Structure 1
Amino acid sequence: MTPTKVMKHRSHNKFHRSMECKSLMVELGQSGLKPSMVKKAINAMKTSNEADVTSKQCADVLSEQRKQHKGKEFYGLIKHFQDKTLVDNDQYFFVDLCDDGCPKNIFWADGRSRDAYTKFGDVVFFDVTYMTNKFKMPFAPFTGVNHHGQSILFGGALLENEKEETFEWLFEHFLKCMFNKYPKAIITDQDKAMGNSIKRVFPNTRHRFCEWHIKKHEPEHLRPYVSRYSDFQKSYREWVNSETIEEFEATWEVIRCKYKLESNCWISGMYNQRMHWVNAYFKDIFLAGMSITGRSESINSFFDGFVNSSTMLNEFVVQYDKAVVSRRAAEEDEDFKTMNSRPVLSSVHPIEAKAGECYTRKIFDIFKKEWIEDNNNLTHETLSKSTEESKYQVGRLDVDKTYWRIVTFRYLNQVSITCSCAKYETHGILCKHSLYVMKKRHVQTLPNHYILPRWTLNARYKVGNVSIRLGDMNTENEVSTFTLWCVRSNFNKLIEQARDSPSEIQKLNTLLISLLEDQVVRKKSISFENASQGSCMGISQVDMMPQLFIRDPLGPTTTKGRPKVASRIKSPLEAPKRRTCSYCQGLGHYASSCSKRKADESIHEKEK
């Protein structure tokens, strides 16, 4: 028997049973790798003469490791959050339990996510289409956009179902976690239960439907009209892309009559919900470009490679943290590039120079595209001119003037400029039309009030830094939760800086004693104590968790989770693949069983 075959005997094939190999398999498995990938990684790193490990051996080890957590996954999830709380005082998490100890809903957000919300919480994207865990509990991440235009996570939740009361519970805890600071806009899919909950919990927040979800619906609903009317597609696009509300309404009356749209069709339903998705209705609200960037699709890819449909609950939160760490590393890379590089300017104009100095590199690239377009392709006509205000029509010579933009320029105490395209109002970056007029009017620098702090390097994460003034969210009679959180964060930072010096700690302690003695009104002390506990609400409940009888969820059933007829589309990860015939383009069958193909072949044979 050759040496290579001897290694296949069980007595000689010991490597895969060694503690070193098993530990490596478990570690790679917890990183989200499948057994086949674990096998390749281990065999590539193996230096001994032992036989290669197989996919089955890897799968057996991972299965054995998972059995140790069977029935205790939810307890492992709680333990994970408890351990994180020891190193992150600002972490917030709350667990909603049934009377029998079965988990219903879980929401969590770490300190850095809460800090990010104070800077980038003006627009929030919320989606529940990513359902990848063993118990099929819908995963609901809250997402925003940072100063580099990257997706960032404000918090995550695992939900029992997608009913109104569940969403209401989640939104209330999200608001409580984020210092009762309401987002200016929230972007979701068209789920009715979600929309009703947003109305109740975020009454003053503008609710927009995700454009990505709407476009996914369009083909199936527009197909009958496109096949019947040759110009329908063009008319529909012109209607959807109307520049003003008046134009949108007028065009609707035209296409409704011309194409005989029924009152109960999908297009009429979308018209009734126009306040939630038509661009013309959102020209006055900042959206950070989120509605047009397939943000939902990018969030699905956020966790790809970290979790899958069989991920256990205790593993899910660990993998969630790893995904967040990888995204934060990407953010820090962009911070480094901005701090250690110079912008590449296309001109010597001081407006572009100041933009390059203030904006992060990614945002400057967006600004630069507008600036270059301004330099090369635009012209204008003067509509009116006075000492205080001038109006111009700006556009390209090769484009019909009906599509040109109206730019209003005012110069009193400071430069004020508005454009009918509303790019600054919705994206926070001046458009090419406004930049063109500013240059023609000899404005020598980019006005500071047109540089949003959220697009600059000043918005980057700094350990222990509090970037918002303490009084920003206070009222005359009440100190806000956010202010108390800032004070507590500064206090913790002071302790950390003084902990290595006995004299500094003694000095700090003496100062605190003096302040405590000066407190005459006991009510303020009690209020501060209660609010401080509130900033980490859920920890007191979690401390009791080991004493409670906690069991894992019952798993997916017909009475819980997503309804069979959902009001929104499913993500590609969970939506079943639709069979499409390559011959007749019909759905539900392949070309091999296509009746039309067989009939055509039969006719062809007869003709022969």
Structure 2
Amino acid sequence: MAAALSIVMPETFHGLCTFHIRRNFMKHLGNHYKENSNLPYMFGACMYEFEEVEQFNRVWEAMVKKHNLENNEWLSGLYRIRDKWARCMMKERWTAGMRSTQLSESLNAAIKNHLKLDHDLVQFFRHFNSVVDEKRHNELIAEYEMRQKLPMVGLRQTPMLVHASETYSPTVFVAFQNEYGESTTMVILRQQDAAMFVEFVVMRYDGGPERIVVFNRNDLSVRCSCKKYENEGILCGHALKVFDTVGIKIIPPEYIKR
């Protein structure tokens, strides 16, 4: 699949399904999984948690050494293609937040509910079309409800949230509202002004990693070191905190993906 995509869709990023990686992890390393072992937790942290490459490499090396996995071919091969599955390596890859093939798996499950082993080709396509029609009908209902109803605003209404509720689909709005809520728990530690750019250091009140947000005075753009927008298409709480600080009250149009 990877070879075909590189030829047919060269601009497309090909990632690996985290669900299948975890399943193969148990198949290839199950004999290393002992009672009270932290191997699956260290592996899961490398896949989902770490945002910095240095931290990922440090924990990976400690995991391999602690569990004597230096000569494990499957794990070594997986490390060589870490840019396809490790969170820290995918920060700037556009994935819309998807890390697994749950969409295709759910479609496969829906089709299986309508099939039997003795169906011929005509019966198969008849049932397949029924599944597709049902999916499209559900999409039309969701589209209608999105246009007829504004999503519930769970936080104090502000111009930014009102604008988001009128712009985003309900699902995306919930994700945006969560980030907006996070921004209210953040503080700007310091800022450094230059001719065109202003660099802010942002973190949560209760601690956590510091993030660098660079604000461009000319085009009012922001770029955060957490790379959430580049990866998921939604502005992060750090960037929203900076927008609030500089007085930007609605979402700039270039940050609203179609």
Distance 1:444-1:201 versus aligned 2 partners, 3 A rule = closer
Contact 2:180–2:237, Cα closer than 8 Å, also in 1: yes
Distance 1:344 1:205 in 2: 35
Tell me the alpha carbon deviations over residues 309-350 of structure 1, each in whole angstroms, 9 at most, x when there is no partner: 333211222222221111111111111112212232222311
For the residue of structure 2 that corresponds to 1:238, the secondary structure is: helix
Tell me the alpha carbon deviations over residues 520-542 of structure 1, each in whole angstroms, 9 at most, x when there is no partner: xxxxxxxxxxxxxxxxxxxxxxx
For the residue of structure 2 that corresponds to 1:426, the secondary structure is: helix
| Alignment partner of 1:360 is 2:169 | yes
TM-score (norm: length of structure 2): 0.85
Contact 2:213–2:223, Cα closer than 8 Å, also in 1: yes
Which residue type is aligned with residue 167 of structure 2? C
Q: CA deviation at 1:228?
A: 7.1
**1:29-68 to 2 correspondences below 5 Å:** none
Distance 1:244-1:309 versus aligned 2 partners, 3 A rule = farther
Contact 2:200–2:242, Cα closer than 8 Å, also in 1: no
Q: Which residue of 2 aligns with 1:272?
A: 80
Distance 1:358-1:452 versus aligned 2 partners, 3 A rule = same
Distance 1:378-1:300 versus aligned 2 partners, 3 A rule = farther
Contact 1:405–1:420, Cα closer than 8 Å, also in 2: no
Contact 1:211–1:291, Cα closer than 8 Å, also in 2: yes
| Alignment partner of 1:423 is 2:228 | yes
For the residue of structure 2 that corresponds to 1:381, the secondary structure is: strand
Q: Which residue of 2 aligns with 1:581?
A: none
Contact 1:337–1:361, Cα closer than 8 Å, also in 2: no
Distance 1:296 1:355 in 2: 29
Q: Which residue of 1 aligns with 2:242?
A: 437
Tell me the alpha carbon deviations over residues 448-504 of structure 1, each in whole angstroms, 9 at most, x when there is no partner: 111112xxxxxxxxxxxxxxxxxxxxxxxxxxxxxxxxxxxxxxxxxxxxxxxxxxx
Distance 2:81 2:210 in 1: 27
Which residue type is aligned with residue 213 of structure 1? H
Q: CA deviation at 1:396?
A: 5.0
For the residue of structure 1 that corresponds to 2:56, the secondary structure is: helix
Identify which of 249, 256, 260 aligns with 2:64: 256
Tell me the alpha carbon deviations over residues 94-141 of structure 1, each in whole angstroms, 9 at most, x when there is no partner: xxxxxxxxxxxxxxxxxxxxxxxxxxxxxxxxxxxxxxxxxxxxxxxx
Q: Which residue of 2 aligns with 1:212?
A: 19
| Alignment partner of 1:317 is 2:125 | yes
Identify which of 281, 286, 295 aligns with 2:103: 295
| Alignment partner of 1:394 is 2:215 | no
Tell me the alpha carbon deviations over residues 191-222 of structure 1, each in whole angstroms, 9 at most, x when there is no partner: xxx33333343344321111121122223334
Which residue type is aligned with residue 299 of structure 1? L
| Alignment partner of 1:411 is 2:216 | yes
Distance 1:309 1:284 in 2: 44
How large is the Cα RMSD of the aligned pairs? 2.5
Q: CA deviation at 1:405?
A: 4.5
Tell me the alpha carbon deviations over residues 396-432 of structure 1, each in whole angstroms, 9 at most, x when there is no partner: 50x5x3xx25131313222222223322111111122
How many aligned residue pairs are there?
Answer: 254
Contact 1:407–1:417, Cα closer than 8 Å, also in 2: no
Higher normalized contact order (CA 8 Å, seq sep 6+, divided by chain length): 1
Contact 1:406–1:419, Cα closer than 8 Å, also in 2: yes
Distance 2:118 2:212 in 1: 55
Contact 2:46–2:87, Cα closer than 8 Å, also in 1: no
Contact 1:391–1:407, Cα closer than 8 Å, also in 2: yes
For the residue of structure 2 that corresponds to 1:227, the secondary structure is: coil
For the residue of structure 1 that corresponds to 2:202, the secondary structure is: strand
Q: CA deviation at 1:293?
A: 6.9
Distance 1:326 1:232 in 2: 43
Distance 2:251 2:157 in 1: 13
Distance 2:134 2:123 in 1: 17
Which residue type is aligned with residue 209 of structure 1? L
Distance 2:97 2:112 in 1: 23
Q: Which residue of 1 aligns with 2:8?
A: 201
Identity percentage of aligned residues = 26
Distance 2:211 2:167 in 1: 27
Distance 1:350-1:298 versus aligned 2 partners, 3 A rule = same
TM-score (norm: length of structure 1): 0.39
For the residue of structure 2 that corresponds to 1:207, the secondary structure is: coil
Distance 1:381-1:313 versus aligned 2 partners, 3 A rule = same
Q: Which residue of 2 aligns with 1:235?
A: 42
Distance 1:292-1:372 versus aligned 2 partners, 3 A rule = farther
For the residue of structure 1 that corresponds to 2:222, the secondary structure is: strand
| Alignment partner of 1:326 is 2:134 | yes
Tell me the alpha carbon deviations over residues 293-320 of structure 1, each in whole angstroms, 9 at most, x when there is no partner: 7334322234243223333211222222
Distance 1:361 1:295 in 2: 19
Identify which of 23, 30, 55 aligns with 1:223: 30
| Alignment partner of 1:245 is 2:56 | no
Distance 2:187 2:149 in 1: 34
Distance 2:58 2:28 in 1: 22
For the residue of structure 2 that corresponds to 1:260, the secondary structure is: coil
Contact 2:16–2:100, Cα closer than 8 Å, also in 1: no
